[in-house]
Amino acid sequence: MAAPDGRSAARERGGATDVVGVVVLGGCAVWSLISAAGREARPEGVLLAVFAVAAGYACGRICGTLLPVAAASAAALAALGLAVASRQGVPGANVGAATQPGHTGAAAALLVLAAGAACCAASAARPPLLRLGLRLLALAVACTALALGSVVAFAAALGVLLCSIAAARMRRRTVAIGGLALAVGLVVATSWAVAENALPDGLTVSLEGQLTQNRVALWQDAIALAQEDPIRGVGPDRFGKLSTTAQQSLGSDGKPHSASLQQTAEQGVVGVALLGAAFGWMLYGLLRSPRSTPVVLSAGAALTALAGLASVGNALSFAPVTAGAGLLAGLATARAAAEGGVGAGTQVARQREADSPAV
């Protein structure tokens, strides 16, 4: 009798996660329309991002159930190929335009997602040689980032690989996921503090040297625009038209290069709260995922690194990145076919076996 109860509880947990996701993503889409109402705003970009996340997540859940290792490996190679194929990270991006100062493009985000998918595949693989080969693939992704001149992507991808290796020795995922959420919160809080000029002068000067004065000026414009209408913001895709810094910058893409500040300026406090809820939903899904802890934490590390890049860049402005984030979350929360038909006791035993130290 224990086996049916275990399966029912697992389905109930998965259903709750899906319901939360539908509510959060639906709220993001509806609020973008509300924020755009009565203005010359364009909510299409937000709607496309929401659709990309939902489609990627659904695809990840399906593929992760049928072929967990092969699907994650294919996702890693696809993301790596996209990053290498175009200087901006996605085919069709405005390659001819000058790179915005302080710009963190889609290429860095795709490389981080590629490393995360490779680490997920390695954590789910059984044969030691296959597992080692997939970890070498993640290392090759990090080296590719360095070859492309992106030190940030190299550090982030290497960090994801190291976190994945360390996760093989962890038994409890709750503390680790809480630490990932805290790390993102610190990055977001620091970006806001820089924009508000709330840090000590020496630290502010040091950070401005890394971030560039142009990006800091964009952030300050975002704060100023948010104060005009704190609830609804100025409207989706209107930052470039209202920001003095964006208008005066050569080759500007009209973005403040910070997802949280862009949401605050264009969609108000409700918009940034929904953005935070979307990231929280992904972490919540990982926390309750039936997959092994190494797989969950590998995906969590990659999504955290992506959130960090999005906090200081415009990585989420590219549909392949948002779709890739949803795909990775779906792969890490899918119920593998072998796991779906076992009882609670057998599943726990396999979970412990998968969480055992391995390279």
Rounded distance between C-alpha atoms, residue 3 and residue 96, angstroms: 59
Rounded distance between C-alpha atoms, residue 105 and residue 257, angstroms: 10
Residue 253: CB atoms within 10 A of its CB come to 18
Residue 172: CB atoms within 10 A of its CB come to 9
Torsions phi, psi for 286 (to 5 deg): -65, -40
Cβ-Cβ contacts under 8 Å for 185 (sequence gap 6 or more) = none
Q: Are 187 and 308 in contact (CB under 8 A)?
A: yes
Rounded distance between C-alpha atoms, residue 176 and residue 207, angstroms: 27
Determine the pLDDT at residue 86: 66
Q: Are 292 and 343 in contact (CB under 8 A)?
A: no
Where are the extended beta strands (E) located within the chain?
Answer: none
Tokens of residue 283, six digits: 């972490």
Q: What's the Cα-to-Cα distance from 192 to each of 195, 304, 332, rounded to whole Å?
A: 5, 18, 31
Q: Are 90 and 317 in contact (CB under 8 A)?
A: no
Going residue by residue through the chain (359 aa), what tens digit of pLDDT does each one get? 444 444 444 455 557 888 999 999 999 999 999 999 988 889 999 999 999 999 999 999 999 999 999 999 999 999 999 998 865 444 434 434 444 433 347 889 999 999 999 999 999 999 999 999 999 999 999 999 998 888 999 999 999 999 999 998 887 899 999 999 999 999 999 999 999 888 888 887 888 788 888 889 999 999 999 998 899 999 999 998 998 888 887 767 788 999 999 999 999 999 999 999 999 999 999 999 999 999 999 999 999 999 999 999 888 989 999 999 999 999 999 986 654 333 333 343 444 444 444 43
Domain assignments of the chain as residue spans, ordered by start:
2-90+102-354
Degrees to nearest 5, angle at CA 163 with 336 and 83: 80
Cβ-Cβ contacts under 8 Å for 9 (sequence gap 6 or more) = 344
Determine the pLDDT at residue 90: 45
Cβ-Cβ contacts under 8 Å for 73 (sequence gap 6 or more) = 117, 118, 121, 134, 137
Which DSSP letter does residue 233 get? -
Rounded distance between C-alpha atoms, residue 19 and residue 255, angstroms: 32
